[in-house]
């Protein structure tokens, strides 16, 4: 049952992506992208990350995509001439994308054990088993509150990156205002 749901949403996500890049109108592209986002949110829930799924909907669909649509409408970019590249551009794009896809799919071959083995052979800077205790996330999530299990590392281990990210957001905020304003 769950796998059926998984594949339905997976298909929807791929379809949304394909349509997103093929639609002439930016509005339509944005809407198709929204469907992909929703599908991904569902997949996150299936993968046991309900919290991420919720944030996916809130941040991406609720904020980012709305921003996109807002800009599209602000610039009145509704129907425009086709902005697809020429035949040679398409061919090059397909070749590169194809190669990339093949290589990425090769990652599929990676199983956790193989990854752990490769990490173990790498420089002895990290203890593989200590760094990646298998299934730990689920156990932590099951043992504690989900939010707590995320908050622990976020505000302990990754406190400094977290703070840097907040500064980044502030900078982005200021930057966006400065750039978007007509005259300062």
The answer to whether 122 contacts other proteins (rule: CB under 8 A) is no
Taking CB under 8 A as the rule, does residue 21 contact other proteins? yes
Structure tokens at 67: 């921003």
Task: Give the residue, chosen from 8, 117, 137, 159, that forms a contact with other proteins under the rule CB under 8 A.
Answer: 137
Token duo for residue 47 = 């993968």
Q: Residue 5's Cα: distance from chain center in Å?
A: 20
Tokens, residue 115: 């990854």
Closest CB 163 distance from other proteins, rounded Å: 12
- Asked if 26 is part of the footprint of other proteins (rule: CB under 8 A), the reply reads yes
Applying CB under 8 A, among 124, 143, 182, 184 the residue interacting with other proteins is 182
Query: 150-169: which residues touch other proteins (CB under 8 A)?
Result: 150, 152-154, 157-158, 161-162, 165, 168-169
Query: How many chain residues are in contact with other proteins, going by CB under 8 A?
Result: 95
Closer Cβ to other proteins, 89 or 117, answer by number: 89
Q: Could you say whether residue 177 binds other proteins (CB under 8 A)?
A: yes
Of 70-109, binders to other proteins (CB under 8 A) are: 71-72, 74-75, 77, 80, 83-85, 89-90, 92-94, 96-101, 103-108
| 8 Å CB contact between 51 and 40 | no
Range 83-114 burial, b when 16+ CB lie within 10 A, else e: eeeeeeeeeeeeeeeeeeeeeeeeeeeeeeee
Query: What distances in angstroms separate CA 85 from CA 22, 29, 57, 93, one per listed residue?
Result: 12, 17, 32, 9
Integer Cα distance of 78 and 5 in angstroms: 35
Q: How far is the CB of 115 from other proteins (least distance, A)?
A: 8
Smallest gap from Cβ 152 to other proteins, in A, equals 8
């Amino acid at each position: 049952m769950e796998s059926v749901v998984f594949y339905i949403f997976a298909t929807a996500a791929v379809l949304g992506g394909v349509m997103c890049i093929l639609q002439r109108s930016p509005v339509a592209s944005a809407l198709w992208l929204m469907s992909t986002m929703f599908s991904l949110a569902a997949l996150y829930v299936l993968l046991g990350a309900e919290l991420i799924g919720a944030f996916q909907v809130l941040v991406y669909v609720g904020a980012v995509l709305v921003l996109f649509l807002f800009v599209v409408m602000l610039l009145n970019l509704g129907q425009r001439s086709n902005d697809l590249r020429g035949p040679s551009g398409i061919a090059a794009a397909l070749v590169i994308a194809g190669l990339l896809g093949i290589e990425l799919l090769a990652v599929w071959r990676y199983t956790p054990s193989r990854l752990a083995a490769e990490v173990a052979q790498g420089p002895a800077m990290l203890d593989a088993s200590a760094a990646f205790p298998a299934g730990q996330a689920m156990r932590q999530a099951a043992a504690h509150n989900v939010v707590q299990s995320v908050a622990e590392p976020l505000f302990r281990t990754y406190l400094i990156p977290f703070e840097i990210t907040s500064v980044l957001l502030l900078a982005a905020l200021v930057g966006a205002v400065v750039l978007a304003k007509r005259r300062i």
